[in-house]
Structure 1
């Protein structure tokens, strides 16, 4: 892998993470809380997928994209289940119950889970130092999130909402990796477009059926528009391309920045405060990403000659 491709891949990965980071506060705006609900999590999940699906049809027709081949449908289907349905639905319900800080404790595990799935599915390998940095970075994010929860007086206790968040993390990791698996053949833009189009038979009629019959705040509709256009669609253009160019093991660690970018976005969107502790932990996490990158050059895969065994190179 060329150094130029690695750098571009990491840059695109960070751009994708920045777009995804705003998903958490925007989802909270869209769904509201248990005490002040807005749009239902089911409606947000299906409506954002339907919106992205309609945009995808326009893109695929405009670019005269061919249909995926038969062996592409399985990974695309798994990406539908993970990124289009599983992650947003579980996240939406969890955010109605727990605070954003509490949710960050669990979702901070996403980079480590994504890297583990990449190693398992794509037969990628990395040095021990990479895994040490990945674990250290994840622990830093978890420690930061727990500290913020305690500072806010919420504490940290394992409850059923945490199971929803763990499910969301696993669903997102599966969707990321299987989507990236077919990106070399289909192209990053076409992958997410086909994923959204495949979900349309469920997402579009489901969104119309669940259309809210009560008054909804304009901010909730704005949150839905963001997660439909950017979180569900445009962000994946950068993310999948970054995974391919930079390597899934390497680029996935950029997700360690996501909780902090979410907090920055929550300052203007949700009125949350930013303090020095946040910046200090962010600097420490960035250090683990930088150090981990030095150890993340994959060793020779088990089947070096077979492109299909390790498509992200």
Structure 2
């Protein structure tokens, strides 16, 4: 009897471990999405006291200092030489490209409009993943993803009156570079801890970010207020570091295509924050879009690759 119970124990562990990993990965990716949903409102706050260039440079320096401090405190060794090209892609897309282009867009766009346009990021990330890593999600997955993206596009077009603006072009560019950074970061997160991926990407940007911040802060007007300081702190520590740590850990656990679909909820969360924090007004279309997006999320999470 003892031999029997000892033989069955490993089977029970093998069956439950993947479920725990999937649940934990989904939770981490979801928390990352919550952190990201505050990025645009926090950026709008930051722009009350900083120019776009000063805000981007300062947030990168602050986030890199936090990341570098963690790496030093834990005595993390340098990544292998083969990982640096991938880290450069993460740095270019997630640390520099997306924050810069989205911040430029928010000079003339509302956070609500920017949020719904960036709602296309899950589909863009899934496409980049398929091209870069050879993933083959099911037809059900792609159908749900396309429906969710269509709902987001329809909402965005309705909000902008049917015409694309310069801000939209900035946002579409931000989608492409961010999707590339997410895909490469998700791949690297399978080879090293997820927090180290974004930490090293941030440190990689430090030699450029420090002089850029010095020049921007010296030559562009700065008006420190509670909002501008809080916005800077959040986009640096919350969005740029903590949110990406959770996001990459989640992607490594549940896969890039599935994790990317959780971001379909991000525009709706950002709309809520835009009302609560910025006083923007939602249209009647918001709850309809929210319902369609949440259904798509449920379908993509159940669809098997």
Global fold match (TM > 0.5): yes
Q: Does 1:267 align with 2:283?
A: no
Q: 2:104 aligned with 1:98, yes or no?
A: no
Q: TM-score, normalised by structure 1?
A: 0.87
Tell me, in whole angstroms, the C-alpha distance in 2 between the residues paired with 1:185 and 1:267: 40
Correspondence list, 1:271-310, <5 A: 271-273=279-281, 277-295=285-303, 297-298=304-305
1:41 aligns with 2:39: no
C-alpha distance in structure 2 between counterparts of 1:208 and 1:287, whole Å: 47
**Map of 1:19 onto structure 2:** 35
Which residue pairs with 2:131 in the alignment? 120
> Conserved in 1, the CA contact under 8 Å of 2:42 and 2:232?
yes
Whether the 8 Å contact between 1:6 and 1:247 is mirrored in structure 2 is no
TM-score, normalised via structure 2 length: 0.89
| 8 Å contact kept, 2:112–2:274 | no
Matched, 1:241 2:257: no
Asked if the contact 1:113/1:169 (under 8 Å) is kept, the reply is: yes
CA distance in 2, matches of 1:277, 1:183: 37
Distance 1:277-1:164 versus aligned 2 partners, 3 A rule: closer
Deviation string, structure 1 residues 208-264 (Cα, Å, up to 9, x no partner): 221144434331121111100011001011100000101111110001000011011
In 2: Cα distance, 1:155 partner to 1:252 partner: 28
The 2-side partners of 1:232 and 1:274 are apart by 27
Name the larger-Rg structure.
2
**Equivalent residue in structure 1 for 2:144, among 133, 141, 147:** 133
Aligned mates of 1:119, 1:129 — CA distance in 2: 15
Distance 1:74 1:40 in 2: 31
Q: Is the 8 A contact 2:64 2:202 kept in 1?
A: yes
CA distance in 2, matches of 1:210, 1:94: 19
Runs of 5+ unmatched residues, structure 1: 33-37, 299-313
What is the match of residue 165 of structure 1? 171
Aligned counterpart, 1:62 = 73
3-state DSSP of counterpart to 2:301 = helix
Which structure has the highest helix share of the two?
Answer: 2
User: Contact between 1:180 and 1:243, CA under 8 Å: does it hold in 2?
Assistant: yes
- Unmatched 5+ residue regions in structure 2? 1-16
1:81 is aligned to 2:87: no
2:240 is equivalent to residue 232 of structure 1: yes
Root-mean-square deviation over aligned CA pairs: 1.7
Determine the structure 2 residue equivalent to 1:178: 184
Separation of aligned partners in 1, 2:287 and 2:97 = 31
How many residue pairs match? The answer is: 287
Within the candidate set 189, 194, 207, 2:195 is matched to 189
Corresponding residue of 1:107: 118
How far the C-alpha of 1:9 sits from its partner, in A, is 1.4
Give 3-state SS (helix, strand or coil) of 1:5's partner.
helix
1:66 shift after superposition? 0.8
Distance apart, 1:276 and its partner CA: 6.1
SS in 2 for 1:97: coil
Residue aligning to 2:259 = 251
Is the CA contact (8 Å cut-off) linking 2:111 and 2:274 kept in structure 1?
Answer: no
1:217 and 2:235 correspond: no
Distance between the aligned counterparts of 2:171 and 2:222, measured in 1? 28
How far apart in 2 are the matches of 1:3 and 1:119?
Answer: 24
Q: Do the aligned partners of residues 226 and 259 (structure 1) sit closer, same or farther apart at CA in structure 2, a change above 3 Å counting?
A: same
